[in-house]
Amino acid sequence: MACSREKVWPALNAFGDGLADAHIVFSLATGERYAGELAFDFTVPPDAGDPYAVAVSNGLAEKTEHPVAALFPEIRERCPVDSFGVDYGIVGGFKKAYVSFPLAEPQRLSTLTGIPSMPRALAEHADSFAAHGLDGKVSAIAIDYAHRTWNVYFSGLSAEQLEEKAVLSLLRTNGLPEPSARMTDFIRTTFAVYPTFGWDSSKAERISFSARSTDPAALPARYEPRIGEFAGNVPYTYAGERVLVYAGALSAGEECYKIAAYHQKTPQLSDRVRPPTSK
């Protein structure tokens, strides 16, 4: 993977004041669209301001008049916020900003659909998401400014919500194909789901399922040697076992797997990938 000081150092200059106390995650994914990229995500305290605005002021992102620029501040005004986050690629640079809600206060769909700049897809899918038991389970929103896409993260899914019949119904409702047998096996181990939408369409581009683990040989690692190698060797700074988050993503054209490894973690982390019994 090509990694240059010129690409990474500007991000450290822009956000470095908070990195000593940040939750830091390294991640990679299989699939053509992710080839050659390694990302590092890190939390940003809310008082540091809108990560996109910080990125623009430091030359890491282009300023836009598109409604995408208004969504983050409007969420902050209307919802309780635990932390902000940044997804930064060693090749692609500034990619996404996250807003994570407090662990004890996942947001309801009705609150989020009332935000003026929220893309219409959330309102158009609100009833189907609620029918799948996802209302009141929104743990985070992520915004990709360059690609004009966004994610809504639903956490704490029950075993019943991840039964094959329920998963197939969710995928069909969103116009996505049935998963392969190995993806179906993986989904059974997960407890969070996050669809990806474009800004101007109500059609889901992909849906991802994820789970936290300490096992470097968990299911996706068995399928993808590159993920297994990363899972077993990525460095981390805390005591105990390395914490990993595996994800499987389905789109109309492909299935791919992702892994995120916690490099540095904090007790204040609002973890959007958590089982229903977590408090």
Could you write out the DSSP letters of every residue in 123-151?
HHHHHHHHHTT-TT-EEEEEEETTTTEEE
Low-confidence ranges of the chain (pLDDT < 70): 1-4, 267-279
Residues 153 and 194: beta-carbon distance below 8 Å? yes
Q: Please give the pLDDT value at position 177.
A: 95
Residues 262 and 22: beta-carbon distance below 8 Å? no
Q: Please give the pLDDT value at position 34.
A: 75
Alpha-carbon Rg for the chain in angstroms: 18
Which pTM does this prediction carry?
0.93
Q: Domain limits of the chain?
A: 5-264
